[in-house]
Amino acid sequence: MAEAHAPLLSLRGLTRRFGGLTAVDGIDLDLAKGGLVSIIGPNGAGKTTLFNLVTGLDRPDAGEVRFEGQDITGLSPERLAGGGIARTFQLGRVFGNLSVMDNVLIGAHTRLRAVKPAVPVIGPLLELGLALLRPSSVKAEEERLREEVKTILARFGERLLPRIDQPAYSLSYANRRRVEIARALALKPRLLLLDEPTAGMNPSETTEMQGLVAELKAEGLTILLIEHKLEMVMRLSDRVIVMDEGKKIAEGPGEEVRKDPKVIEAYLGHGLSGTAEQESAA
């Protein structure tokens, strides 16, 4: 274990350029174990690109990412998932033709042990053999994970459980977002990145989602959150980071950041202040 005060996740000078555009420009960030940090900012500020850099879907041009004290910069998403980093996607990336159950089981993929022996070279062939022969250890593992999926789905009340065998493409938009979060939870993440979990949800659904995230935080899960709905951000975050045009323009407790003239300007300049007021009034 790393020393007690070392952050779970820390970014130093993280930078990503696309041609002439610097989408993420020298971002520093520390996230303590059990903490919740929100990233806000106008559209195109580079928030999702930052998530991609942390989860390995994109590689930074400069800077480093440390997770539990180890340098994980540029590792593949597969390895980072194995290391306990789970994320949801802004536009919702459920597996459309898979049932709700199978979608969430994919979330538990990195936790398969019995069917995926950690043997070099012939490991994949053993996996194929075990999947076909299905000894009792493999069956038991699959059964245990299926039970666990039901427990996870139960967190969403009656939203998903009755639809457990339906293909994800048949779900409502809000339910697809829920499936994504369920899938992320099935990984048993040590770090959860949520990219606009309430996008496209109505106020009551948003409140429900806010309750769930608060619950996860109370259970000790470390969370990095991108969110436009400021009410939720203010309530849940230990700290808020404001990004604009790739740069961090403010950081601190929610109330402080909210009054920062640079933040107000960034939002006003991009015509998003209306959203902010609306949300805080809700």
Partner 1 sequence: MASWLDYTINGLIVGNVYALVAVGLALIFGVSRLINFAQGSIYLVGAYIGWVAVVQLHTPLPITIIFVAVVAALVGLIIERFGLRPLQNSVRIAPLLATIGISFVLDQLVMLTFSPNPRALPSQLPDVRFQLGGGTIGPLDLLIAGVGISSALSLFVFLRYSKLGWAVRAASQDRDAAMQMGVDVNRVNQAVFGIAAALGGVSGLLVGMYYNQIDTAMSLQATLKGVVAEVVGGAGNVPGAVVGSLLLGLVESYGVAVFGTSYRNLFAFLLLVVVLVLRPNGLFASARQAPPEPLTGTFIAPSRPVRIPRWALAVAVAAFAVLPLLPVSFYMLQTLINAWLLGMLALSLTLVAGTIGQVSLGHAALLAIGAYTSALLSLTLAVPVGLAIIAGGLMSAALGTILISPSFRLRGHYVSIATLAIGEIVSLVILNWESVTRGPIGISGIPPLSLFGYDLISPNSVYWFSFAVMVALALLQARLLSSHLGRSFRAIRDDDIAARAYGLSLNRYKSLAFIFGGFAAGVSGGIAAHLYSYINHETFNTQQSILALTVVILGGLGNVVGAVVGAVALVGLPEIFRIAAEYRILIYGIVLLLLVRFRPQGLLGTI
- HEC sequence for 140-205: HHHHHHHHHHHHHHHCCCCCCHHHCCCEHHHCCHHHHHHHHHHHHHHCCCCEEEEECCCCCCCHHH
Q: DSSP letters along 61-102, please? A: SEEEEEETTEE-TT--HHHHHHTTEEE--TT----TTSBHHH
DSSP 120: T
Instruction: Answer yes or no whether residue 95 interacts with partner 1 by CB under 8 A.
Output: yes
Judged by beta carbon, residue 103 or residue 206, the one nearer partner 1 is: 103
Q: Which of 71, 78, 215, 256 binds partner 1 (CB under 8 A)?
A: 78
Task: Give the total of residues touching partner 1 (CB under 8 A).
Answer: 40
**In one letter, which amino acid is 217?**
K
Please list every residue from 139 through 158 that binds partner 1, using CB under 8 A: 142
Instruction: Answer yes or no whether residue 77 interacts with partner 1 by CB under 8 A.
Output: yes
Judged by beta carbon, residue 120 or residue 261, the one nearer partner 1 is: 120
Pair 183, 146: CB distance under 8 Å: no
User: By CB under 8 A, which span of 125-133, 150-158, 223-231, 265-273 interacts with partner 1?
Assistant: 125-133
Judged by beta carbon, residue 173 or residue 265, the one nearer partner 1 is: 173
CB of 153 to partner 1, least distance (A): 16
**Which CB contacts under 8 angstroms, 24+ apart, belong to 171-177?**
171/94, 171/100, 173/92, 173/200, 174/200, 174/201, 174/202, 174/205, 176/92, 176/94, 177/88, 177/92, 177/201, 177/209
Q: Which of 34, 82, 252, 254 binds partner 1 (CB under 8 A)?
A: 82
CB of 50 to partner 1, least distance (A): 15
Pair 6, 33: CB distance under 8 Å: no
CB of 276 to partner 1, least distance (A): 28
- CB-based contacts of 240: which residues, under 8 Å, 6+ apart? 37, 38, 39, 40, 233, 234, 250, 251, 252, 253, 254, 257
CB of 169 to partner 1, least distance (A): 5
Please list every residue from 102 through 121 that binds partner 1, using CB under 8 A: 102-103, 105-107, 109-110, 112, 115
CB of 89 to partner 1, least distance (A): 7
CB of 132 to partner 1, least distance (A): 6
Instruction: Answer yes or no whether residue 98 interacts with partner 1 by CB under 8 A.
Output: yes
Q: Which of 2, 21, 71, 93 binds partner 1 (CB under 8 A)?
A: 93
What residue ranges bind partner 1 (CB under 8 A)?
55-57, 59, 76-78, 81-82, 86-87, 89, 93-98, 102-103, 105-107, 109-110, 112, 115, 124-125, 127-128, 131-132, 134, 142, 167, 169-170, 183, 187
